[in-house]
Amino acid sequence: MSNDPLNQLLATTDFAWRRDPLRTPTLTNIQWRADACDPGSILFFQRFDDGRSDRELFERYLARSPFSVLVVNRMLDCLDRLHGKGVYVTRPGRWAETVGRFCDRVYPLDRDAIGFIGITGTNGKTTTLKYLESILAAHGRRVLSIGTLGVFLDGERLNETGFTSPPQIELRRLLHANRERCDLAVMEASSHALDQGRVHGIPFQNAGWTNFTQDHLDYHRDEASYFAAKARILDLTRPGGRLFCASPAVVERLLDQGEPRVAVELLRPAPLPPEAIAAKPFLTLEHNRRNYALAAALADAALGGSEAGNPHWRHLQAVDGRFECRVIGNRTIVIDFAHTPDALDTILRAIRTGFPQARVITVFGCGGDRDHGKRPLMGAAVAKGADRAIVTSDNPRTEDPAAIVADILTGMPEAGREVILDRAAAIAHLFDWLDARPAEEQWVALIAGKGHERYIDRDGHKSYFSDQDEVERNLKRLGWN
């Protein structure tokens, strides 16, 4: 047996199938990206049912990568083409556990030195995470946060991963690299991450669940599987920990499935004083108050009972692309990441409540290569909550933007809607339309779907695009101050 620790681990791991390399390589690292490999790499390649053939995956990822050893979660038709390389197939249901063993060797984690907090839910994960981060930092805690907006240490951005929840090896690398610089690690746990085992082995002291509505059925296939993936956060929460939940429906459903392995606590947001709303206008929105209540409960649990009841709202900051506002006279421009039927319905109802005298116009689209079923539901949500709508492109990916819009329109009446496929042109038209309205009319313009994103994803390429930049460009063009 080789003295190389990674070769030793390969030799002692229980695989369903193995083919040792012709020559024992010197293994120095583990990777999840084929383009990051060198001859000392073990590549962990997780195969999904995404419609692509094994041949396509081989040509795109494996054929030219210099790794010496491949570990996969199931047999591939192309494995015989990896001449001389070691190939290992994990046992069914053991992928995350197997990857975790190698992570423990390369990126060891002291699970008692850092406190871990996970947040799941369809909408609101990022906002809750950033609220929690700001509260903990205000109380002197060194916080590493990992989520949709990137990786932050003490509020300063370190990098972006491109994922809501990064893959298991990348997550462990980040945690290992920052282990001596943080007291707490707070992270979003997406349904994909929970289903694929990306957060395997992370012992959450406590966890939060924001809500649950339709999304990602292109991946999970049905709503029951989607819920089951989310519910796996209970299995990652330490004994004695709690799952705080802002949704009565989620709590009821969890309890209907039997006694959860950890306590589940339903939160009911307490009323905020007028000074809180005045100082933090994003708390005007009911769903942000629920996000705040969840963040405050998680913060109190992490800080200890002595901090409970403190006015944590004083420490909150607006979150990039989450109800990001510009107010010019009677025109309020809102940029928000809302990109599901529930998120659009929630924010439009919140706008109606917070701006009762205003009329509402919405620019929105829907991403391609994702759940087709939510498209007409998004159209229906906007038709119900807005007075006018401009339907445009979002991230079409490999689909025809016009076909995506056609799906959206099946959920909308013809009256009160326009279609402008170019997103920049749609936003410019929004401003021209508002500019033509009488100045005394109050309008809220919601630009939905992109939020913090600064790109358009089309035909395999991400080109720079920013709703924020387009708003500033049109404010300057029209001379609005």
What residue ranges define each of the domains in the chain, with the CATH number in brackets? 5-106 (3.40.1390.10), 115-315 (3.40.1190.10), 324-478 (3.90.190.20)
Q: What is the pLDDT of residue 162?
A: 87
pLDDT confidence of residue 444: 96
pLDDT in tens, 371-422: 899 999 999 999 999 999 999 999 999 999 999 999 999 999 999 999 999 9
pLDDT at residue 3, rounded to an integer: 67
Per-residue model confidence (pLDDT) at position 286:
85
User: Residue 334 — φ and ψ, nearest 5°?
Assistant: -120, 125
User: What is the per-residue pLDDT for 370?
Assistant: 87
Q: What is the pLDDT along the chain (481 residues), one digit of tens a residue?
A: 466 899 999 999 999 999 999 999 999 999 999 999 999 999 999 998 888 899 999 999 999 999 999 999 999 999 999 999 999 999 999 999 999 999 999 999 998 899 999 999 988 999 999 999 999 999 999 999 999 999 999 999 999 898 989 999 999 999 999 999 999 999 999 999 999 999 999 999 999 999 998 555 556 468 888 899 999 999 999 999 999 999 999 999 999 988 899 999 999 888 899 999 888 888 888 889 999 999 999 999 999 865 555 689 999 988 999 898 888 999 999 999 999 998 899 899 989 988 899 999 999 999 999 889 999 999 999 999 999 999 999 999 999 999 999 999 999 999 999 999 999 999 999 999 999 999 999 999 999 999 999 999 999 899 999 999 999 999 999 999 7
